[in-house]
Structure 1
Amino acid sequence: MVTPSSFWSPTNLQFSRKLSTIVPGSRFFWSPSGKEVLVQTGTGVAVVDKADKQIWKMDGVKPLGWWSVTGIKGSAVLVTDGAKTRIVSTYNDQDLWTFAAPGAFPSPAGTAVLLQRGDGWLLWEPLTGMRPIPNVAASATAAWEPNGQRVAIEGPGSSGVVILNTADLTTSTLGVAGAVTGWGAGEIAVMREGAVRLATPDSRETKEIGNATFASFQPAAPKAERGTKPGPVKFVPVAKVQDGQGMSVAVAPNPDGQILYIADITGRVIADRGGTQATVLDIRNQVTVWDESGLLDVVLHPKFPQNRTAYVYYGVGGVTDKGGVGPRRDLIASFEIGPDGMSAVPNTFRVRYTIPTPQETPMSHNGGTLAFAPDGKLYLGLGDLGTYEAAADPSPQSVIGSFLVLDVDQPGEWTATKVAYGFRNPFRFSIDPVTTQVWIGDVGGFTREEIDILARNGNFGWPLREGEVCRDTLTDCNSPGLPPVHAWAPYSGGHDCGAGVIGGFVYRGSAIPDLKNWYLYSDLCSGDILAIDPAATVPESLTLGRVPGAPKWGAVVDLVPDAKGEPLVVGLPGGVFRITAGGN
C-alpha cells in the first residue's frame, strides 16, 4: 500500500519513494513513459522524476493529466485555474490550447480531451476541433476506457452512468449510478452513498466492494519496446511513364486495386492498368516546371468510385531560366474520371483553389501533397514559398508555411481554413485512417530534417527553429514551436546526398507483418526507406533498404499505401515500385 505522499512506478514494481514536492492527499498523474509524475504542489503543479528532482513547474494552477502533443508522449500537460483548462507544453511553457471549461479528462491513448462545463460535456480533438456531446447532462466525474475508445460519465441524480462511444458520440446507460472514479481491467468503479461498485460495461454485471469508499485503477505499465523489428525489404517495379516525355512524381491507387494514377511532374495524370497506359489529364500547357514547381500530386475523392472526382495540385507562372512566365500561383483543380477508369469526362476540369504566391521568390517550398481526412475534408500543406519569415505569421489570412483544410463539397472556388503554421516545406504527409493523425515530413534547411504530427492551431517553429534546434545558436532553445516526433541532421548517411525528408505513412497492411504500425519515410536523394516505431518514447530510425538507382536526386518523391495498405514508392527517374518483405 502506498501512502498519498509516496509514488510507485508502473515500470518498476519494487520502487517507492517519498515526494517532497507533492501536497499530501492531492491528485497526481503518471506520464505515459512511467518515468515522471505530474503533481500538485503548495504553489501550483510540478513534474518530478523518480529521484524527486523537479524538472518543470507552473504556479497558480492544479493538475488534470498528461497530453500527447505531437506523438512524443508526455510532452504537454493539462492544468486548470478553476475557470479555464489549458494544455501547456513542458518543452517551452507555451500555451497550446485554452478552453473555457473548469475541468478536463485527457484520453489515455490519444489526443482527445473530454471537457467539463456547467452546461454539459464537450469532446475535443486537435484535428477535428470541438464536438458537443448530445443528451448528456453536466456532471462532475468521468473516466476513460484504457484504449481511449469510450468514456464513462457520471449521470445526474440517480440516473445511470453514461457510456460514450467517442467515434460517433452515441451513448448507452450503465445499470448503476454514482460518481465515476476509474476504468480499468474491463470494469468501471462507481462510488455512491459510501459504497463502491465495480460494473462491467459490456455485460452490465456489477459487484460491490465491501468496506470501500473509493476505488481507482493503477494505469497499466507502458508497452515494452517491440521485440521484433522490421527486416530488410525489396523493391518490385510496378510502373513508370512509358513515353519518355515526363517523370512520375506521385501516385494515387484506384480502390479497385487494378489502376494506378501517376502524376507526371510536367502536367499529366496517366492511368496505368497492368502496364497499359492512357493519359486522363493533360495540362502541360498550363503547368510551369521549374525548380520545385510542376504538377506535384493527384488524389481521388474519398468516396471514389461513387464520386469519380480527382484533384491535382500544380504551379503556374513565376520566374524561370527563361525569365518571367506570368503571375506565380499554386492551384488545386478537379476533374472527373470516366467509368472505365482510363479516361476523363470531357469538360470537367475546374480550378477550385488558388494560392496567392509572392512573385519575386524562388519557385520552391510549395508543399506538394493533397490528402483527405476521414471526415471528408481535404488537407494541403504549404511551405514558406521561399519567404521564410512569413511562415511564422499565425493570422488566419496568411497561408504561407501553413496547413489548410478545404471542403471539397463547396460549389465554385473553395475557401480554406488555416489549422497550423510554422512549416518550411511539408512536401509529403499522410493522414492515418486508424488514429486520424496527420504525419508530416517537413523538409529542413542545413540543420535538421523533421517528422511532425499535426496539432490544430499549432506553431511548428519555422523559421525560428529547425526541428529541436534554434537556428541562431544551433542549440536547444525556448523559441516557440512544437517539438518534432523525430529529427536528424541532413547529409548524415555517409554520402553528400540526403537533405530532403519524404514523409510517408503508418503501415497498416498485412504482407509485411513485422512492419505493422511502424511509420515509413524516406529521403529525396539517398533513396533510403526508413522506419520509426510511433510507440517508442524516443523513436530511432531503422534503414530497411534503398530504392534501385539511388543515391540520386529525386530517387524518392512519394511514399504511399496501395489499395490494400501495401507500400508504393515513387521516384522521378525510376517510376513506381512496390515494397515487399525480404532484402534484395
Structure 2
Amino acid sequence: MKKITSLFLLPFFLSCNSQVKPNDVPLRDEVKNYTFETVTSGIAIPWGMAWLPDGSMLITEKSGILYHLKNGQKTKIKNVPAVYDHGQGGLLDIVLHPNYNKSGWIYITYASTEGEGKGGNTKLIRAKLKNESLIQIESLYKCSPNTTAGQHFGSRIAFDDDGHVYFSAGERGAHFVNPQDISCDNGKIYRLNDDGSIPKDNPFVGKKGAKEAIYSYGHRNPQGLAKHPVTGEIWEHEHGPKGGDEINIIKKGANYGWPIVTYGIDYDNTTISKIQEKPGIENPIYYWTPSIAPCGMAFVTSNRYPDWKGHLLVGSLKFQYLELLKLKGKQVIGRQKIATDIGRVRNVAQGPDGYIYITVEGKGIIKIVPNKR
C-alpha cells in the first residue's frame, strides 16, 4: 500500500457542558497522530464499502461500477443492474446481511429508471455474488414515481439488532410535497424485513393510503445511517439547505420536520421556515451551521484508536475533511477535524481489521493508520 503522508499534533478534549446547544460545539484542529495509506485509487466517486469474509472489499462507484478489491487488484463485478447516473443519483450504498456467512445476501441501493414516469428514483435490492457476478437479484423496494430531478436520492443502508434493514431516500427536491406526506415516497427512512416484506409493527401498517414501509419521515437528504454499537439505535444524518445539516436518532413513526422546521435557509438566501422547534417534531441531537455537507458515518469501536473509540466519524463533502464528534451519551460535546483537506469524503467505515477507511472522490479508498505509541 502507498503511504501518502505522515502527521503529528495535539491531544483533543472538550469537557461536557449540559447547557451546550446542538450547534454550539467548537470545531478543533486535527490531532495529527496518524498516517494515510492508499488502499486503491482511480475511482471517480466511490460511495459504498463492504467487506467479504475473506477480507476483500466491495466498492460501489456512482457511475454504476461495482468493484471487487482483492489482494490489491480491482475486478468489475458483472450483472450489476443499470443505474440512473444522473445528478446525485447512481450506484449508491452496499451492505452485507448481518448473517452473511449463512445467507450470502448483499444489499444495494441505487437510482433506478424502473417504474412509473421519466427519470429515476431510489431502489433497494439484494443479490448474491458468484464468480464475480451478481446472481439471484431480488427487488425489495422501489420509490415512486420517477422524476428527472437530479437531487436528493439519499442513500444509505443499515441493519438493526433484530435483522430489519433500513434505507434512506431523499425527497428528490420536492420538499414541499414528499417529506411530510406518508402516502408519498421520498424524504423517508424505510424499514423492511430482510426479504423485503413489511414488518407488521411498522408505524403506518394498516393506515389508509400510507406507504407501509416508512419508518420515519420529514427528512431532506439522508446520506448517513449507522447502528449505535451499544444501544442498537439507528442514527442518521442528513443534508440541510444552506445551514442546518442534522444528526438524528431514528424513532418509530417520528416526524423530523423538513421543511416545516429547519435551521437553514434556501440557497438564494430566502426563508424556508422561521420555525426551529415545534411540538410533535423530533429535534436533532446536533446540527451544523454552516453546513458541512455530511456524507457517510461510522461509530468507532476499535482499540486501534483509543482517543476516538466510542465516538462518531462523519465525512464532509463541502470542507473536505473527516469530522470526529465526541459523544457523551446522545450529546455531542466535542468536534475535531481529521484528514484536513483530504478531498470530498463520501463515506467512512471501520473495517473488520479495526482500521478506519474513507472513500474520497477522485482518489479512491484511503486507510487511516494510527502512529505507534
CA shift in 2, pair 1:250/1:569, >3 Å: same
Asked if 2 retains the 8 angstrom alpha-carbon contact of 1:529 and 1:547, the reply is no
Cα distance, 1:344 vs. partner? 2.8
CA shift in 2, pair 1:230/1:453, >3 Å: farther
Alignment of 1:170-569 (within 5 A): 231-232=31-32, 233-241=34-42, 247-256=45-54, 258-283=55-80, 286-317=82-113, 326-338=118-130, 343-344=132-133, 347-359=135-147, 362-393=149-180, 395=182, 397-410=183-196, 417-467=213-263, 472=272, 476-478=276-278, 481-490=281-290, 499-535=292-328, 537=331, 539-546=333-340, 548=342, 550=343, 555-569=344-358
Asked if 1 retains the 8 angstrom alpha-carbon contact of 2:84 and 2:119, the reply is no
CA shift in 2, pair 1:473/1:372, >3 Å: closer
Cα distance, 1:290 vs. partner? 1.4
Structure whose alpha-carbon radius of gyration is higher: 1
- Give the letter for the 1:267 counterpart: G
Alignment of 1:39-58 (within 5 A): none
Count of aligned residue pairs for this structure pair: 330
Unaligned runs of at least 5 residues, structure 1:
1-32, 37-71, 74-228, 319-324, 492-498
- Give the letter for the 1:329 counterpart: N
Q: Which one is further off, 430-439 or 442-451?
A: 430-439
Cα distance, 1:420 vs. partner? 0.9
Asked if 2 retains the 8 angstrom alpha-carbon contact of 1:240 and 1:248, the reply is no
Q: What is the Cα-based RMSD across aligned positions, in Å? A: 3.2
SS in 1 for 2:307: helix
CA shift in 2, pair 1:303/1:562, >3 Å: same
Asked if 1 retains the 8 angstrom alpha-carbon contact of 2:118 and 2:147, the reply is no
Asked if 1 retains the 8 angstrom alpha-carbon contact of 2:66 and 2:77, the reply is yes
2:362 matched to which residue of 1?
Answer: 573
SS in 2 for 1:291: coil
What CA distance in whole angstroms lies between the structure 1 residues aligned with 2:48 and 2:57? 10
Unaligned runs of at least 5 residues, structure 2:
1-15, 23-28, 199-210
Question: Could you report, residue by residue, the CA deviation over 1:43-99 in whole angstroms, capped at 9, with x for unpaired residues?
Answer: xxxxxxxxxxxxxxxxxxxxxxxxxxxxx99xxxxxxxxxxxxxxxxxxxxxxxxxx
Alignment of 1:4-15 (within 5 A): none
- Give the letter for the 1:264 counterpart: E
Q: Which one is further off, 442-451 or 385-394?
A: 385-394
- Give the letter for the 2:356 counterpart: P
Asked if 2 retains the 8 angstrom alpha-carbon contact of 1:486 and 1:539, the reply is no
Cα distance, 1:558 vs. partner? 0.9
What CA distance in whole angstroms lies between the structure 1 residues aligned with 2:137 and 2:235? 30
Q: Percent identity at matched positions?
A: 19
What CA distance in whole angstroms lies between the structure 1 residues aligned with 2:359 and 2:263? 26
Asked if 2 retains the 8 angstrom alpha-carbon contact of 1:507 and 1:518, the reply is yes
SS in 2 for 1:306: helix
Which of 1 and 2 has higher RCO (CA within 8 Å, sep 6+)?
A: 2
CA shift in 2, pair 1:378/1:477, >3 Å: closer
Asked if 2 retains the 8 angstrom alpha-carbon contact of 1:469 and 1:477, the reply is no
Question: Could you report, residue by residue, the CA deviation over 1:138-178 in whole angstroms, capped at 9, with x for unpaired residues?
Answer: xxxxxxxxxxxxxxxxxxxxxxxxxxxxxxxxxxxxxxxxx
- Give the letter for the 2:104 counterpart: R
What CA distance in whole angstroms lies between the structure 1 residues aligned with 2:294 and 2:74? 30
What CA distance in whole angstroms lies between the structure 2 residues aligned with 1:299 and 1:369? 9
Cα distance, 1:373 vs. partner? 1.5
1:202 matched to which residue of 2?
Answer: none
What is the TM-score of this pair, normalised by structure 2?
Answer: 0.78
